[in-house]
Amino acid sequence: MANDSVSVKMDGPRREYRGRKLRVAVIGCGGIAQTHLTAYRDALPQVDVGAGVDIRADRLAVMRDKWGVPEAALFGADLASGKTRSETAWREMLRKMGDKIDAVDVCTPNFAHCQPVVDCCKAGKHAFVEKPMAMTVEEAKRMVAAAKVGGVKLSVGFQNRYRPALEALVEARDNGVFGDILFVKVRRLRRRGIPNWGVFGRRELQGGGPLIDIGVHFIECAYEFMGCPKPVAASGNTWTYLGNRKDKTRVRSPWPGWDWKTYTVEDLAIGHVRFDNGAIMQIETSFAAHIEENDVAEFTAMGTRGGCQFPSGRIFTDQHGTMVNIAPAFLDPAGDEWNALFARKLGNWADGCLTGAELGASGEDGLNVQRILNGLYDSAAAGGKEVEIR
Ligand SMILES: NC(=O)c1ccc[n+]([C@@H]2O[C@H](COP(=O)([O-])OP(=O)(O)OC[C@H]3O[C@@H](n4cnc5c(N)ncnc54)[C@H](O)[C@@H]3O)[C@@H](O)[C@H]2O)c1
């Protein structure tokens, strides 16, 4: 698991830190970037945010006014006129501030993950990119290759692997509690939860719907739990039956009023992935599933000696001639909090950049998860036939 040499406590004053700092430029200063900036400010004294890039002037104004980044270090839009100046302004940032920046933190929408990472890694800057790594396997491969060329660290924004229950299950796995893991079932379903902000309904900008946006989190941590076997084949299907219908926007729901006119992603994706060790992962993910629960986010696993459930951390096995269900008596609730998880994932990356330590969620890990996602989309495009994953 991850190296966590630097404190990520979110409940105290920022610790004194006298070591070398990682000077970071944030590319895409919208919603999730605010969580990153909070983690840097409150928990990661080894990071200094020195620049910001966005196509929106109001987002850059927040970088200046709330996060104290000087106007000369803000790129992409003009704060006075409010106009966008460039859609590839990270290049200007590299030209003008290359000697003052060690790393970039990419928090743009999915369609703008690949190119900034490729350009910045080739320029010798470490990169962190939010999930999903990319829209396609080809993009993810280009990103991994660029990090190799630049000799830099590339990490992907998967935080569920740092949840206390997952860490406990991974430790149990390493102690042989589950034997060989044969089957994992991932369920990430919303009864009605189509995002009514951003570009989450637009396939050309996102690469897909619930599978690539929310399924990805539980696919990733289930994959980590399995020990990251090589995915070899995928079969599945996707369906759109609700998100593109105007009448459905009138049904009472937590996030009403999404843009049904531009909705081109799937509502439901069901899939089946085979791995080189014979194990199988089954995936159910949806923004709009006709199910009893409002929100399901879990995986269950079955092995030759035991099984488990995440996020409860419960283990099902045999002990002393009896079938037993084992529940953790304590899992640190503070470690499961949103801000703490972001501090863990960003701290792991920052420490990796500063010390050379191995990363928790590397570019290669992101690429394998991307292979699973796009294998399922490819199979759906082929009418549900099994496709090879390369
Ligand atoms: N890890 C998580 O749990 C988690 C949670 C939410 C979002 N995310 C991911 O974070 C990414 C961003 O999501 P968000 O909710 O913050 O979206 P957002 O729309 O709030 O923010 C994206 C920002 O990128 C900017 N942007 C767009 N194109 C740009 C370009 N070419 N150059 C510079 N800036 C550009 C936008 O103006 C906006 O400010 C997505 O990939 C999403 O999947 C991850």
| Single-letter code of the amino acid located at 348 | N
Section 166-170 average pLDDT: 98
The pLDDT of residue 14: 57
Q: What is the CA radius of gyration of the chain?
A: 21
Which residue pairs, CB below 8 angstroms and at least 24 apart, start in 324-329? 328/165, 328/168
Cα(319) to ligand 1 centroid in Å equals 48
Nearest to 218 by CA among 135, 138, 284: 284
Where do the structural domains in the chain lie, given as residue ranges? 5-158, 161-341+368-388
Quote the percentage of the chain above a pLDDT of 90.
95
**Cα 12 to averaged position of ligand 1 atoms, centre (Å):** 28
Predicted local confidence at residue 6, as pLDDT: 44
Q: How far apart are CA 274 and CA 378, in angstroms?
A: 15
The pLDDT of residue 120 is above 80: yes
Q: Which atom of ligand 1 is nearest to the CA of 59?
A: 39
pLDDT of residue 204 exceeding 50: yes
CATH 3.30.360.10 fits 161-341+368-388, yes or no: yes
Q: What is the mean pLDDT of residues 275-301?
A: 98
Residue 343 has pLDDT above 60, yes or no: yes
Contact 104, 78 (CB under 8 A): no
Question: What pLDDT, in 10s, does the model give residues 80-106?
Answer: 999 999 999 999 999 999 999 999 999
Rounded average pLDDT over 59-82: 98
Whether residue 164 is preceded by a cis peptide bond, meaning omega within 30 degrees of 0, is no
Kindly give the distance from the C-alpha atom of residue 130 to the centroid of ligand 1, in angstroms, as a whole number.
8
Ligand 1: residue of 26, 67, 107 to mutate (most ligand atoms within 8 A of CB) is: 107
Which runs of E-coded beta strand occur in 249-294? Answer: 268-275, 280-286
Categorize the per-residue pLDDT at 302 as very low, low, confident or very high, splitting at 50, 70 and 90: very high
How far is Cα 135 from Cα 369, in angstroms, rounded to an integer? Answer: 11
pLDDT at 312 over 80: yes
Question: CA 260, CA 72: separation in Å to the nearest integer?
Answer: 40
- Sequence-ordered list of residues with C-beta below 8 angstroms from that of 128, at least 6 positions apart, any chain: 103, 104, 105, 106, 154, 155, 156, 157, 346, 349
pLDDT(319) > 70:
yes
Q: Indicate if ligand 1 lies below 6 Å from the C-beta of 96.
A: no
> Does the CB atom of residue 59 touch ligand 1 within 6 A?
yes
pLDDT of residue 370: 98
Q: Is the CB of 32 under 6 A from ligand 1?
A: yes
The Cα–Cα gap between 200 and 178 comes to 37
What does the CA dihedral 158, 160, 161, 167 come to, rounded to 10 degrees? 170
Our answer on whether the CB atom of 107 is closer than 6 Å to any ligand 1 atom is yes
> Stretch 333-355: mean pLDDT, rounded?
97
- Ligand 1 and 91: CB distance under 6 A: no
Of 147, 269, 122, 290, the C-alpha closest to 208 is 269
The closest residue, in CA terms, to atom 15 on ligand 1 is 31
Q: Is the CB of 55 under 6 A from ligand 1?
A: yes
Average pLDDT over residues 262-278: 98
| Whether residue 52 has its Cβ less than 6 Å from ligand 1 | no
- The DSSP-derived string for 68-96 is ---GGGEESB-TTT--B--SSTHHHHHHH
Backbone φ, ψ for residue 88 (5° rounding): -130, 45
Cα(160)–Cα(310) distance, integer angstroms? 10
Q: Mean of the pLDDT values across residues 313-317?
A: 98
- Please name the residue whose Cα sits nearest to atom 19 of ligand 1: 198
Q: What percentage of the chain carries pLDDT values higher than 70?
A: 96
Separation of 32 CA from ligand 1 center, angstroms?
Answer: 6
Report which protein residue has its CA nearest ligand 1's atom 38.
30
Instruction: Confirm or reject: Cβ of 359 under 6 Å from ligand 1.
Output: no
Spell out the residues 6+ positions from residue 153 whose beta carbon is closer than 8 angstroms to its own. 126, 127, 147, 349, 352, 353, 359, 362
Q: Which pLDDT does position 1 carry in this prediction? A: 38
Report whether residue 202 contacts ligand 1, using a CB cutoff of 6 Å: no
Answer yes or no: are the C-beta atoms of 229 and 286 closer than 8 Å: no
Say if residue 2's pLDDT is above 50: no
User: Which residue's alpha carbon is nearest to atom 30 within ligand 1?
Assistant: 87
Q: Is 280:273 a contact under the CB 8 Å cutoff? A: yes
Say which residue the tokens 């897909």 belong to.
Answer: 208
Predicted structure pTM score: 0.94
Q: Which residue has the tokens 């269900």?
A: 325
- Residue among 97, 279, 287 at smallest CA distance from 198: 287
pLDDT for position 15 = 63
Nearest to 1 by CA among 244, 173, 185, 231: 173
| Cβ(384) – ligand 1 distance below 6 Å | no
Give nearest CA residue, ligand 1 atom 28.
108
* pLDDT mean across residues, the chain: 95
Query: Phi and psi dihedrals of 23, rounded to 5?
Result: -95, 115
Q: Is the pLDDT of residue 8 over 80?
A: no
Reply yes or no on whether the pLDDT at 11 is more than 80. Answer: no
Q: 5-158 has which CATH code?
A: 3.40.50.720
Where do we find the tokens 């986010």?
Answer: 297
* Type of residue numbered 66: K
Does residue 13 surpass a pLDDT of 60? no
pLDDT bucket at 5, cuts 50 / 70 / 90: very low
Tokens of 158: 């998967």
Our mutation pick for probing the ligand 1 site, out of 55, 94, 205, 265, counting the most ligand atoms within 8 A of Cβ, is 55
Q: Are residues 205 and 347 in contact, defined by beta-carbon separation less than 8 angstroms? A: no
- For residue 89, give the ligand 1 atom closest to its CA: 32
DSSP 107-165: -S-GGGSHHHHHHHHHTT-EEEEESSS-SSHHHHHHHHHHHHHHT--EEEE--GGGSHH
Structure confidence at residue 16 (pLDDT):
77
Whether the domain at 5-158 and the domain at 161-341+368-388 fall into the same CATH topology? no
